[in-house]
Structure 1
Amino acid sequence: MASTFIYRNKIYMSVQVNGKQRKRSTGLNNTKKNLKYVERELLPNFIIEVSNNKSSNVKLFYYIERFKEEKKHFLKERTYIRYCKMIDKWILPEYGKMKIKDIKISTLKQFLNNHFEEGKTAKTVELYRTVFSGILQEAVYDGVLSSNLFKNIKHPKKKKPVITPFSVDEVKLLLDNSFGWFHNYIGIATSLGLRSGELIALKWIDIGDKEIYIRRTRDFNQDTTPKTESSIRTLPMFAKVREFIDKQRKISGHSEYVFPRPNGLPWSDTQWIAQNHWYPLLKDLALKKRRLYEMRHTFATNMLNSGHFKVTEIARMLGHTTTEYLFNVYSAYIESEKNSFSLNINIYE
């Protein structure tokens, strides 16, 4: 006898074999689509598994597929693709054929340590951990594991991101030595602080008389919604930005996108721009090699150091809901302004 039932808005399966009843959470929310999927795919497999009593021999591969199937319904497409690539490269080849019962805490510690030894950042390794832990959690839902082994492994201390923004003089140097659409690209990137994906996803319909509307980002050759809800924002059309926009309109005003490829189609991502325009420019100017993303940090730090804007205003333009991130990442630049304060100021006068 097999059936499904709902508990705390999650779909569970129940199978009775030889007078014994086995229950298992699917981890899926109670929706018609999920229920249909459970009844057609998961429940028959559960019946076979219980009947053969092979749960102790289930391999990680089985839960990798379960994890992928579940996340397909809940993650943004670009995040889902990123997770799948990560699994297929770092988890599946080495651990996919391992039996769940054979995966030990030492196995997982070694997995994390290997990536640290390869020079991966703590942030990257933490993402690998999150994904691997999510796979094991599927086995916990099934009762194959009593608890998630990652709970017994300490998280590394988070370090502040290391940023290398350009100075005002360096920005001027970049603009003086770039031309055409790439000149305008650098100008807007350093004047508005857009993320790289947001900039190549910018369309002419997003350009108003006094404002610019950020409504999407672009990656994996497709437009998607921005990183967070706060990333959907409206930015002021500064006079300098208007100059770059007007010049770019003469170049690509006939296209849908503000910064299209030479053939008029949108960019898949910013890799080609970086390799063929950005890095060669930095090399020619004898500037330290930095990511395109550093232009966003450049905007933030120079806005802070200008003294013309409130921290809350800068956070809002960057698409952050609070100022916490600004203080965590850019505190050194805020601190650098302290020595310029007059010691004769009395805030109560």
Structure 2
Amino acid sequence: MGQYKLKHTKKDCFSRTRRNKMASTFIYRNKIYMSVQVNGKQRKRSTGLNNTKKNLKYVERELLPNFIIEVSNNKSSNVKLFYYIERFKEEKKHFLKERTYIRYCKMIDKWILPEYGKMKIKDIKISTLKQFLNNHFEEGKTAKTVELYRTVFSGILQEAVYDGVLSSNLFKNIKHPKKKKPVITPFSVDEVKLLLDNSFGWFHNYIGIATSLGLRSGELIALKWIDIGDKEIYIRRTRDFNQDTTPKTESSIRTLPMFAKVREFIDKQRKISGHSEYVFPRPNGLPWSDTQWIAQNHWYPLLKDLALKKRRLYEMRHTFATNMLNSGHFKVTEIARMLGHTTTEYLFNVYSAYIESEKNSFSLNINIYE
């Protein structure tokens, strides 16, 4: 098979078909399509991408050459998974939040592309996919995490289904992992006091605010001084993969009360990092990319020194929730709003075992019909 060069003028970009004798791209309803003619037969395929200069260049550089090979060999099953990985990435770029898109791409690049990228579609079996899922379970991944991996891999295969390369998505024949009730290990009041008494500087303030406001880990390192009011704290962003993004849900954008104890931690922290844009920056004043370094170099060593069970930073959020529920000072709906939840269902599902008022403290002599 010879080389097929696509020559076009700038004017061609959005007005008409780019074509040579054998291969071309064309626009239909603002979507980019590919067309290849071999032995008098023409094959067309939608890329699913919007008509932009950047997408056109990508199609001509990456997708069209693969399509030519596929049609010329008359064996669509020879297409490798890499082709649909790239298709999936380009497609999702336009529909996912930036934070989610980055997470998906990192997941693909780490867990799917290295081992499966060069596999031909025809060689991917149900057993291949089951092994993929089982490997992650054996590594100790949670059902929620494995389900996310499944969603991404399934989305890649679905692109092949849309093209007719696969008759159906193989994941349809694989059962979803059973989701277990989240297991949490919040700190007791005495343990929180122990953590605060043995931490210093910015990390002391970090623990104080985390256990007093229940912020998610990404929300805390994304907190800026402009978010700090006289009587309120505004939560309007989170941070992960070195990016500030909007929180995971609309309800996560919220206003929290400035409790007196929180004000103490804020005032002490302002003396440390008031020169920075962020409340809890790195030593050089720039924001953290995520909380992994904090966990590895400050959090876990502190737990070890205090002979406390190893727990995630996120357990400070659970600690706030359980102590707020047990305090009796707030309605459950108010606590749900402070945590950024839309309903109280999650609170009762996750924290019921830790709520003192829920532990059968009622009288056995009650008659509800009297």
State the TM-score, normalizing by the size of structure 1. 0.88
Check 1:6–1:169 CA distance in 2 against 1; reply closer, same or farther (3 A cut). Answer: farther
Check 1:310–1:24 CA distance in 2 against 1; reply closer, same or farther (3 A cut). Answer: farther
How far apart are residue 212 of structure 1 and its match?
Answer: 0.5
Cα deviation code 1:15-62 (max 9, x no counterpart): 665565545343446889767865786456535533442312111121
How far apart are residue 136 of structure 1 and its match?
Answer: 0.6
Deviates more, 1:277-286 or 1:186-195: 277-286
Asked if structure 2 preserves the Cα contact closer than 8 Å seen for 1:175 and 1:187, the reply is yes
SS in structure 2 opposite 1:320?
coil
Aligned length: 349
Asked if structure 1 preserves the Cα contact closer than 8 Å seen for 2:49 and 2:90, the reply is no
Q: Return 5+ residue gaps in structure 1 as ranges.
A: none
Residue in structure 2 matched with residue 182 of structure 1 by the alignment: 203
Asked if structure 2 preserves the Cα contact closer than 8 Å seen for 1:25 and 1:141, the reply is no
Between structure 1 and structure 2, the one with the greater Rg is 2
Check 1:21–1:334 CA distance in 2 against 1; reply closer, same or farther (3 A cut). Answer: farther
Deviates more, 1:2-11 or 1:298-307: 2-11
Check 1:209–1:118 CA distance in 2 against 1; reply closer, same or farther (3 A cut). Answer: same
Asked if structure 1 preserves the Cα contact closer than 8 Å seen for 2:66 and 2:83, the reply is no
How far apart are residue 343 of structure 1 and its match?
Answer: 5.6
Cα deviation code 1:174-196 (max 9, x no counterpart): 11222221111111101111011
Asked if structure 2 preserves the Cα contact closer than 8 Å seen for 1:214 and 1:235, the reply is yes
Q: 2:291 aligns with which of 254, 270, 274?
A: 270
Deviates more, 1:32-41 or 1:300-309: 32-41
Question: Which of 1 and 2 has higher RCO (CA within 8 Å, sep 6+)?
Answer: 1
Q: Return 5+ residue gaps in structure 2 as ranges.
A: 1-21
Check 1:196–1:100 CA distance in 2 against 1; reply closer, same or farther (3 A cut). Answer: same
SS in structure 2 opposite 1:339?
coil
How far apart are residue 307 of structure 1 and its match?
Answer: 1.7
Asked if structure 2 preserves the Cα contact closer than 8 Å seen for 1:305 and 1:337, the reply is no
Deviates more, 1:201-210 or 1:86-95: 86-95
CA distance in 1, matches of 2:26, 2:368: 65
Cα deviation code 1:45-84 (max 9, x no counterpart): 5355334423121111211122222223333333333322
CA distance in 2, matches of 1:11, 1:46: 14
Deviates more, 1:99-108 or 1:23-32: 23-32
Check 1:247–1:335 CA distance in 2 against 1; reply closer, same or farther (3 A cut). Answer: closer
Cα deviation code 1:89-139 (max 9, x no counterpart): 222222222210121111111111122222222112111111111111111
Asked if structure 2 preserves the Cα contact closer than 8 Å seen for 1:215 and 1:226, the reply is yes
Check 1:211–1:46 CA distance in 2 against 1; reply closer, same or farther (3 A cut). Answer: same
Check 1:154–1:337 CA distance in 2 against 1; reply closer, same or farther (3 A cut). Answer: same
How far apart are residue 160 of structure 1 and its match?
Answer: 0.9
CA distance in 2, matches of 1:31, 1:235: 42
Cα deviation code 1:279-309 (max 9, x no counterpart): 1221222111111111011111111111222
CA distance in 1, matches of 2:129, 2:176: 12
Residue 316 (1) aligns with residue 337 (2):
yes
CA distance in 2, matches of 1:265, 1:94: 36
Between the two proteins, what is the percent identity of the paired residues? 100
CA distance in 2, matches of 1:125, 1:8: 37
Asked if structure 2 preserves the Cα contact closer than 8 Å seen for 1:24 and 1:141, the reply is no
Check 1:33–1:238 CA distance in 2 against 1; reply closer, same or farther (3 A cut). Answer: same
Check 1:136–1:162 CA distance in 2 against 1; reply closer, same or farther (3 A cut). Answer: same
- Aligned-CA RMSD value: 2.9
Asked if structure 2 preserves the Cα contact closer than 8 Å seen for 1:26 and 1:141, the reply is no
How far apart are residue 325 of structure 1 and its match?
Answer: 1.8
